[in-house]
């Protein structure tokens, strides 16, 4: 389990070309925002969107949310200028689409020295090379691009997501090995609350830090599912207390609710409490 400085339960895409959406995002309860210059912006609007987003970020008002700018891909005419426009901006990182290997990360890192880079994991080659991408010193996190991944694989996705499970787990495993964040892909049917809840629960069970979202209406479910609930917090407290008591008595394990509690369970319990505390602080 990675130690993410800020909660990443809900990561909302916002088009970089839309003034109204950029303004509204300042008041939304998202843990993180991806300001999108790629898929959400038509080719003839790319340059104008870059300027619109620069103005919005200069004005500020996005609070303590994690702020990422998704630039256009390395194979496009816009990438270098996108990176140049935001390498000194008040953001937390550049999100690079369609990352295939560490060389792609290095190409952007050379354009923005010192800037944290996040990778869209959405190609077969990228998933195959997930560990070398995660291990790049500039790499701060993975965002799963499940729509593009499904298209490239030629997969058909059912509610259990069995057809892309290996890809999700490979990306997550690499992220965890490198100690970086990993956020699940989007759920397209933004009016289907039950489907979104199911997919959030699936991502949480895998170990994802949160979910990328395409509409503000999805925020409440993602924030709730990816937050430790009262039962989890209570169990974590009892596990820590029981283990501390066991150690004080010279024992290396404790028992809580009929289950063994060892040091590894205590580490997980403390992570749960830290996450709950971070969310509580964020929400005031």
Locate the domains of the chain by residue range: 10-225, 230-282
119-157 residue pLDDT tens: 999 999 999 999 999 999 999 999 999 999 999 999 998
Beta bridge partners of residue 261, listed in sequence order: 254
252-271 residue pLDDT tens: 999 999 999 999 999 999 99
Per-residue burial over 160-171, b if 16 or more Cβ lie within 10 Å, else e, is ebeebeebbebb
Distance CA 181, CA 216 (A): 22
Q: Classify burial at 4, counting beta carbons within 10 Å of its beta carbon; exposed 0-12, middle 13-18, buried 19 or more.
A: buried
> What pLDDT score does 5 carry?
61
The whole model's pTM is what? 0.94
Provide the CATH number for the domain formed by 10-225 in this structure: 3.20.20.60
């Amino acid at each position: 389990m990675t130690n993410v400085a800020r909660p990443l339960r809900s990561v909302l895409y916002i088009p970089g070309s839309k003034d109204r959406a950029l303004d509204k995002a300042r008041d939304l309860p998202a843990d993180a925002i991806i300001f999108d210059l790629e898929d959400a912006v038509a080719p003839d609007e790319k340059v104008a969107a870059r300027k619109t987003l620069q103005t919005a970020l200069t004005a500020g008002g996005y609070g303590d949310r994690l702020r990422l700018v998704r630039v256009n891909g390395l194979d496009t005419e816009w990438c270098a200028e996108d990176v140049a426009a935001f390498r000194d901006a008040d953001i937390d990182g550049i999100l690079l689409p369609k990352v295939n290997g560490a060389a792609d990360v290095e190409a952007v890192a050379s354009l923005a020295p010192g800037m944290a880079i996040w990778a869209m994991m959405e190609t077969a080659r990228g998933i195959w090379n997930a560990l070398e991408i995660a291990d790049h010193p500039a790499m701060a996190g993975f965002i799963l691009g499940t729509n593009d991944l499904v298209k490239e694989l030629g997969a058909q996705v059912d509610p259990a997501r069995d057809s892309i499970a290996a890809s999700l787990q490979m990306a997550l495993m690499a992220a965890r090995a490198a100690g970086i964040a990993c956020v699940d892909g989007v759920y397209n049917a933004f009016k289907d609350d039950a489907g979104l809840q199911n997919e959030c629960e699936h991502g949480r069970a895998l170990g994802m830090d949160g979910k990328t979202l395409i509409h503000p209406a999805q925020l409440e479910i993602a924030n709730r599912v990816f937050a430790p609930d009262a039962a989890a917090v209570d169990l974590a407290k009892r596990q820590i207390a029981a283990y501390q008591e066991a150690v004080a008595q010279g024992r290396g394990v404790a028992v809580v609710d009929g289950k063994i509690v060892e040091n590894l369970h205590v580490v997980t319990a403390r992570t749960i409490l830290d996450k709950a505390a971070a969310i509580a602080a964020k929400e005031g």
